[in-house]
Structure 1
Amino acid sequence: MNQHVIRPVRADEWEKVKELRLAALRDPAAPVAFLETEEAAVGRPDAFWQERTEGASHGRSARQFIAEAPDGTWNANVVVLVEEAGTVGIFDEAIDVDQGHLVGVFVRPEQRGSGLTEALFEAALEWSWSLEGPALDRVRLFVHEDNARAAAFYRRFGFEVSGLVVPMPTDPSAKELEYVFPRPAAN
């Protein structure tokens, strides 16, 4: 893992959050990995990035984890959004259980295969399972039907296809497949 530190973002790190997001949106896989374009992200004001980072740095609703190299470079990230039963998800689907939703998964190309994704997912799941009042029943994510590399990683990590398929908002002819990771049984 090249001695990266896996940690949550801090509220004042919005410029690094923005830089890593723009790098992700420039990646060749971005059209099947993200629901946002680089053009849209570039056009967002600093206040957007400040609020986004603040919201993902503490509290229960979201947490962003990053992989920070010894030189301070951020090489990967994942965000956990908490979805409560009785609400509506990002694809307008009904949420029937309290769950985490992993989004924004990105590893810089030169770091892929180094173990950063596994370390980020472990941190995201550990945080998800630590939440109380109410505890989360599962963690989920969606993967584009043409993103075979990501789907293979998610299955290796332990996510399973749930059967829920939704149209991709930016291209309704394309499909997003839900993968879930159930809460481990208590010992």
Structure 2
Amino acid sequence: MPRINAATVGEHRAAQRRALLNAAREVLAEGTADIPSFGEIARRAGLARSSVYQYFNSRQDLLDALVEDSFPRWSQKLAEAMAEADGPAGRILAYVDANLILAADGEHAIAASLSQIAPGPKFDEKSRALHGDLVTPLLHTLQELGARDPAVTAELINAIVHTGVRQIERGTDPDQVRRSAGALVAPYAHDPS
């Protein structure tokens, strides 16, 4: 009988599943272009390879779980950063900064790896929903500030974010990218018209 390392079997199973997802995320954050093997994931999670099958029936099942796990994380961290900011201008700058911090933490690399190895209708739908969820608070903030065309302004701000993400992923110092992006976006934050 396997050893239970939690108060209940349900909590133990949840912790084991989380360990496997975290191990898979770690592999994907390294920029892999292939579906991680169950052996590699089990090794990084400190479990036997056969244990993985207790939680995921196939590699596709694992990828689906990663999509379900990864996308809400990004939205939640972004929402938290914007909620902690002072006023609308602060929320816009927090939006830019939080996206770049997430990229520096490897979250974008995970999403990029998933897009390469898990393409298909489910991933495409989740990706569209994520991007919609991410831009919505920015649009609302720009509307609150009285931007003439919030959608265009949001697109310009996101162009700066996307460029910053690419720079971080190419090895540019994340703090330098965050400072530069903040300086570029600050005029939009303070006068979006």
TM-score band by shorter chain is 0.3 to 0.5
Q: Which has the larger radius of gyration?
A: 2
Q: TM-score, normalised by structure 2?
A: 0.33
Q: TM-score, normalised by structure 1?
A: 0.34
Higher relative contact order (CA 8 A, sep 6+): 2
More strand by share: 1
